[in-house]
Amino acid sequence: KAMPGDSMDKPNIVTCTAPVNIAVIKYWGKRNEELILPINSSLSVTLHQDQLKTTTTVATSRSFQEDRIWLNGKEEDITHPRLQSCLREIRRLTRKRRNDGVPCLDLSCLSHKVRICSVNNFPTAAGLASSAAGFACLVYTLAQVFGVEGELSGIARQGSGSACRSMYGGFVQWIMGNQDDGKDSLAQQVEPETHWPELRVLVLVASAERKPVGSTSGMQTSVETSCLLKHRAESVVPGRMAEMIEAVQKKDFPTFAELTMKDSNQFHATCLDTYPPIFYLNSVSHQIISLVHRYNGHYRDTRVAYTFDAGPNAVIFTLQQHVPEFVQVLKHFFPPETKREHDVIFSYVVFKAGPGPCVVEDPTQHLLGSDGLPKKSM
């Protein structure tokens, strides 16, 4: 039996999961690199965590000598600036809550070192690795450990911009805000995941032969060189956000789909307008775009939409009733057997919209042992 005083050394351990999100109005470009403040608002759909999620365990103990982090089984550098921003901001929020008289957990843990262990349930190589799910999970789990609740998207934003949208389920907007300190640049749920149950998201994993230019550096070059991006942020996105929110609220699929495709195309156009240009789409992506337009044209109805982020993987939005037929069409044009170097879709996964981050109550699911080291089974 534990002796009094032993409890001081017993680690406080919490495990949580967080979802991936897919933007239908894209975030591309920062006005402040340090605080991660965007040049335009954006809107996304949170994917259900049954197939894609990040799981993170955070442990704090008086006996830990230093902060450490393991990602997908490998120890990583804890001094990473964005990681440090999240740790600093959570500790600051905890102190602030205490000073405001909000009861929170044992404050001694504020001085304790943390151990962080995080895994994705999908292979990083598939190009589905998401810094959004990772930072959302980190911030949510840290907040649980320190006993702080409430608005956390402003902290997740400082890990990775798109991470702020993974702090909520369903349909989420990231309002750009206009303050210099970024206090008003936050995510907000537009509709919960239960709002549009027929909506489906197909993630098509295409071959990624080269590692594309990362979002952070890509958008930096775009801000510096693309006048199309400036036009997009100032004159296109504000109107598009309003139309998109209305389409989501009305569950108007054709409008939602058309705006999604146009916004993906404009984002990739700004990449092409960047100097030197950035190419995220490959020949498979172009074939998928044509296929979607031919399919919709055939039915004289917008039944399917595509969107692409900073890589060649396609994400398809459609309604439940069209999934089987569209999957058949995809299989016909991209048969799994074909081993043509570029024209391959390796796999696809069908999603519904899903909830935001969750606490995992079962202690056997912790990724860290009470010694603050990753469990052997990892």
What would the DSSP string read from start to end of 71-99? ETTEEE-TT-HHHHHHHHHHHHHHHHHHH
Question: What would the x/- binding string for ligand DP6 be over residues 292 to 331, using CB under 6 A?
Answer: -----------------xx---------------------
Q: Using CB positions, name the residue nearest to ligand DP6.
A: 161
According to the binding rule CB under 6 A, does residue 161 interact with ligand DP6?
Answer: yes
d(CA 355, CA 253): 21
What is the C-alpha to C-alpha distance for residues 165 and 167, in angstroms, rounded to an integer? 5
Interhelix angle 253-273/215-225, rounded to 10 degrees, is 70
Minimum distance of ligand DP6 from residue 281's CB (angstroms): 12
Tokens 């982020």 — which residue?
309
Among 41, 42, 141, 296, binds ligand DP6 (CB under 6 A): 42
Interface with ligand DP6, residue 188, by CB under 6 A: no
Write down the least CB distance from residue 36 to ligand DP6, Å: 5
Query: Least distance in Å: CB of 256 to ligand DP6?
Result: 16
Judged by CB under 6 A, the residue of 15, 17, 49, 215 near ligand DP6 is 215
Min dist CB 187 to ligand DP6, Å, is 11
Q: How far apart (Å, rounded) are the C-alpha atoms in residues 346 and 55?
A: 25
CB of 215 to ligand DP6, least distance (A): 4
> In angstroms, rounded to a whole number, what is the distance separating the alpha carbons of residues 220 and 272?
14
Which of 55/215 has CB closer to ligand DP6? Answer: 215
The rounded distance, in Å, linking the Cα atoms of 260 and 282 is 19
Interaction between residue 23 and ligand DP6 (CB under 6 A): yes
> Out of 13, 19, 26, 212, which residue is the one contacting ligand DP6 (CB under 6 A)?
26
Closest approach of ligand DP6 to the CB of residue 162, in Å: 3
**Cα–Cα distances in Å, from 241 out to 42, 82, 166, 272?**
7, 28, 18, 23
- Dihedral, CA atoms, 253, 25, 90, 181, nearest 10 degrees? -140
Among 16, 20, 27, 122, binds ligand DP6 (CB under 6 A): 27
Q: How far is the CB of 291 from ligand DP6 (least distance, A)?
A: 22
Report which DSSP code applies to 368: B
Contact 60, 109 (CB under 8 A): yes
CB contact set of 311 (below 8 Å; sequence gap of 6+): 127, 208, 212, 280
| Neighbouring-strand partners of residue 348 | 204
Decide: is 263 part of the binding site for ligand DP6 (CB under 6 A): no
| Size of interface with ligand DP6, in residues (CB under 6 A) | 14
CA distance 372 to 112: 12
Stretch (H or E) spanning 134:
helix 131-146
Considering only 26-34, 175-183, 240-248, 315-323, which stretch makes contact with ligand DP6 by CB under 6 A? 26-34
Q: Which is nearer to ligand DP6, 147 or 170 (CB)?
A: 170
9 versus 33: smaller Cβ distance to ligand DP6: 33
Query: What is the smallest separation between the CB atom of 185 and ligand DP6, expressed in angstroms?
Result: 11
Among 158, 162, 189, 226, binds ligand DP6 (CB under 6 A): 162
Q: Where on the chain is the footprint of ligand DP6 (CB under 6 A)?
A: 23, 26-28, 36, 42, 131, 160-162, 215-216, 309-310
